[in-house]
């Protein structure tokens, strides 16, 4: 699955998140993520990831979600322990105005 979207930021930040995992923040203050202890708790729990873009502006985001094979013990080299996983990537362009 692939897609693109445009986003605008005035905080020079892109946040990737699991909506269901952050459901408890719906009634929180709108800037909960700017409180370091709250941000760190959610990042450490794997609920979200904040990316510093370096500049405010309009960004074009190209993303992909692909199934990949992942070896749970790469040092073993036997091929055992291979499981299905998902890989997500995004490419950003724009910003700075």
Count of domains for the chain: 1
Task: Decide: residue 48, CB within 10 A, 0-12 exposed, 13-18 middle, 19+ buried.
Answer: middle
Q: Which of 13, 11, 7, 2 is nearest to 94 (CA)?
A: 7
For 1-56, write each residue's pLDDT tens digit: 888 899 999 989 888 888 899 999 999 998 898 899 999 999 999 999 998 999 99
What's the pLDDT score for residue 69? 57
Range of 31's domain? Answer: 2-94
For 35-49, write each residue's pLDDT tens digit: 999 999 999 999 999
């Amino acid at each position: 699955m692939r897609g693109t979207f445009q986003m605008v930021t005035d905080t020079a930040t892109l946040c990737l998140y699991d909506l269901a995992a952050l459901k408890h923040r719906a009634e929180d203050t709108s800037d909960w993520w700017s409180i370091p202890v709250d941000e760190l708790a959610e990042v450490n729990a794997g609920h979200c990831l904040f990316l510093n873009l370096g500049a405010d502006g309009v960004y074009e985001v190209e993303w992909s979600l692909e199934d990949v094979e992942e070896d749970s013990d790469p040092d073993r080299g036997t091929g055992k322990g291979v499981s299905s996983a998902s890989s997500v990537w995004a490419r950003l362009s724009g910003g700075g105005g």
